[in-house]
DNA sequence: GCCGTCTTACTCGGATAGGTCTTGTCCGAGTTGGCGTGG
DNA sequence: CCACGCCAACTCGGACAAGACCTATCCGAGTAAGACGGC
């Protein structure tokens, strides 16, 4: 899994704490977490394409949340950054090899291995989809929002 | 996720169907699924190191299952081939950046993002660990074992 | 004083290299099975 | 006929390249803000 998943989630949370008043430039977010600025942009762009963030061009531009935190699940962020592909991909190797008829009736039902992997993937996705950004904000220690806003104000000078 | 996971699972199932009487060489397994022989060896070696397969050297050698199918979970195979690492790795970027004290009390508790990802990973692993090779064998279409043995006998000539 | 226009600086966005991991391949060490020879 | 030793073939095992994906970077297009001049 790409490291950008972690970046994306933390950036979304920070943007939620800061609020929608001023958008936050990618360079400032990179400074915030000590990440490579030019590369973090790519992650934020992916989130924008997915409709999770909203990019504001021009001077005083930047990024802000495009939806309410309660309407963005962890799964949404992960799909936006890492792509929608299932980590396991069944290539149907059971049908390959000499002496195998691909049109045999046993191949009408999906391969048992694929089924198990798919169920596990589903459990994983269900867990990630059951938590929203709002949940993460609530589970933060008391005063975190205040500290974040204060630190941001100090950063802007 | 590595493609070898699929290979490893199918190989284990085939070895289970063939039975422990004769070990099956890697080259023949590669032929069976039309896979690159030299590379499949690497996958089988990993399964051997994990104690799932047993390698028999010398002429008429090959690989066989080292344990009962009921004692090998899908998770075991996946860990053996893909490694035990969690796909998500928390790098604690929340502690980075200017104006943050890493020894602050809020960092004593694990980061909420990490916790969610960990729970999802746990759900995924639990699902994979709940299915054994024996389950997969049972869920196969009727007559699959017979067909496999027959095809193998024909392949040996 | 106010409005319109221009410049300017800042922002995002996609196109462009480098590093690391997965994929793929090769050849050597070790072992077993078969064969020949001697008793 | 049986046992022993030798040879040869086959197998696994780890060391060695190629390709793909993730990581990282740069520069250009577009836009909003601010400054300037005219009314």
User: Is it the case that residue A156 has pLDDT exceeding 80?
Assistant: no
Which residue from A71, A23, A30 is spatially nearest to A51, judged by alpha carbons?
Answer: A71
Please report residues of B whose CB lies closer than 8 A to that of A74. Answer: 113, 116-117, 120
| Residues above pLDDT 90, as percent of chain B | 82
A102 CB near a chain B CB, below 8 Å? no
Structural contact between residues A74 and A129, judged by C-beta atoms closer than 8 angstroms: yes
In whole angstroms, C30 C1' to B47 CA is: 20
Report which of residues 18-47 in chain B place their beta carbon less than 7 angstroms from any atom of strand C.
36, 38-39, 41-42
pLDDT band at residue B155 using 50, 70 and 90 as cut-offs? confident
Answer with the residue of higher pLDDT: B100 or A75: A75
User: What are the tens digits of pLDDT across the range A25-59?
Assistant: 999 999 999 999 999 999 999 999 999 999 999 99
Nearest nucleotide to B29, CA against C1' atoms = D11
**Region class of B143: left (phi > 0), else alpha (psi between -120 and 50), else beta:** left
Which domains are seen in chain A, by residue range? 4-156 (1.10.10.10)
Q: What is the mean pLDDT of residues B54-62?
A: 94
- Looking at residue B33, its pLDDT comes to 96
Torsion angle defined by CA atoms of residues A96, A97, A101 and A106, in that order, rounded to the nearest 10 degrees: -60
**Beta-carbon contacts of residue B136 (< 8 Å; ≥ 6 apart):** A112, A113, A116, B9, B13, B74
CB of A156 lies under 7 Å from some atom of strand C:
no
Structural contact between residues B129 and B74, judged by C-beta atoms closer than 8 angstroms: yes
pTM, 2 dp: 0.93
- Looking at residue A42, its pLDDT comes to 98
Q: Return positions of chain D under 7 A from a protein CB.
A: 8-15, 22-27, 30-33
Give me the residue from A6, A126, A141 closest to B90, CB to CB.
Answer: A6
- Looking at residue A90, its pLDDT comes to 96
The tokens for B43 are: 């996958």
């Amino acid at each position: 899994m790409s490291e950008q998943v972690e970046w994306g989630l933390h950036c979304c949370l920070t943007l939620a704490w800061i609020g929608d008043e001023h958008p936050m430039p990618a360079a400032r977010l990179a400074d915030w977490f000590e990440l490579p600025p030019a590369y973090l942009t790519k992650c934020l762009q992916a989130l924008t394409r997915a409709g999770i963030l909203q990019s504001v061009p021009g001077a005083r531009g930047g990024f802000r949340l495009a939806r309410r935190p309660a309407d963005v699940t962890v799964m949404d962020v992960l799909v936006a950054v890492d792509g929608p592909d299932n980590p396991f991909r069944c290539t149907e190797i059971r049908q390959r090899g000499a002496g195998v008829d691909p049109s045999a009736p046993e191949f009408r039902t999906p391969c048992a291995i694929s089924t198990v992997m798919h169920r596990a993937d589903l459990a994983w996705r269900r867990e990630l989809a059951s938590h929203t950004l709002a949940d993460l904000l609530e589970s933060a220690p008391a005063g975190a929002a205040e500290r974040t806003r204060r630190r941001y104000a100090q950063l802007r000078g």
